[in-house]
Amino acid sequence: MLNRYPLWKYLMVIAVITISFLYAAPNLFGEDPALQVSGSRGTQVTPAVLSQTQQTLSKAGIAVKSAALIDDQLLIRFRNTDDQLKGKDLVADTLGDGYITALNLAPSTPFWLEAIGAGPLKLGLDLRGGVHFLMEVDMDAALSRVQEQTVQDFRTDLREERLRYSGVLAKDGGTLVVFRDADTRDKALSHLRGRYPGLLFSERDNGETFGLFAVMSELRLKEVKEYALQQNITIIRNRVNELGVAEPLVQRQGAERIVVQ
């Protein structure tokens, strides 16, 4: 039977199969039970920490497959889950609160496969399991903190300008400044309006006192909520990353919620 296709097509098929096998091969090597140790509150994981951990595990008779510093974190591999669980309690007690010790599974991919960018397939929540959180940011608390800061800023600015006031307080979702005369109120309005373009000002008089009421504009309100959401996302992402979780997903959902997988 004659060959119906040119040789280069057969060679291309063989090359594709070979490359596909190479990049699928890491899934054959499995994973090692491991501990991920990272610094907390600014603490650094140093070679001294690596040495201390190895000595502690060795004295306890816990066999370690390997231990190395990777990306400012300590990765300790064990031969079985029993040693992993015993090692976690021991390492956590030895290092103290300055470090986070988390259980993990480390791929056993050979170095030569890692060198060409090959890695095991991430199975995700559906196939491997995991956790799914949907959290809502407390926007009322965030707005309350901004309101308290505005009260403090108003007091400081008015004192620096030597504009006498009877009181500055948070009220009705805004900030109320009370003066004894209209002239001082008008001077304060001119000054504060230039200093705080994100606030809307209005007068509130009751006959004996002269008030100046400030509330956030829609644009400013949106900025505050966006900042609060992004700040919470950053904090959660940093804390999740400290645990050494494989491919964590932390992202916003809507205007006030955060999804963590």
Which of 244, 245, 188, 243 shows the shortest CA–CA distance to 213? 188
| pLDDT of res. 172 | 85
| Alpha carbons 46 and 254: distance in angstroms, whole number | 41
| pLDDT of res. 125 | 56
| pLDDT of res. 217 | 92
pTM of the complete model: 0.57
| pLDDT of res. 192 | 92
Per-residue pLDDT of the chain (261 residues; tens, 9 = 90+): 556 778 888 889 888 898 888 888 877 887 888 888 887 767 788 888 888 888 888 888 988 888 888 877 888 899 888 888 888 888 888 888 788 888 887 788 888 777 788 777 666 655 555 667 788 888 888 888 899 999 999 999 999 999 999 889 988 888 999 998 999 999 999 999 999 999 999 998 887 889 899 999 999 999 998 998 888 888 887 777 666 565 677 888 888 888 886
**Strand ranges, E, within the chain:** 31-39, 66-70, 73-77, 99-107, 133-136, 167-171, 174-179, 199-205, 210-216, 250-253, 257-260
| Alpha carbons 199 and 15: distance in angstroms, whole number | 66
**Residue 38, both tokens:** 């990272």
**Residue 209 identity (one-letter amino acid):** T
| pLDDT of res. 243 | 62
3-state secondary structure of 184: helix
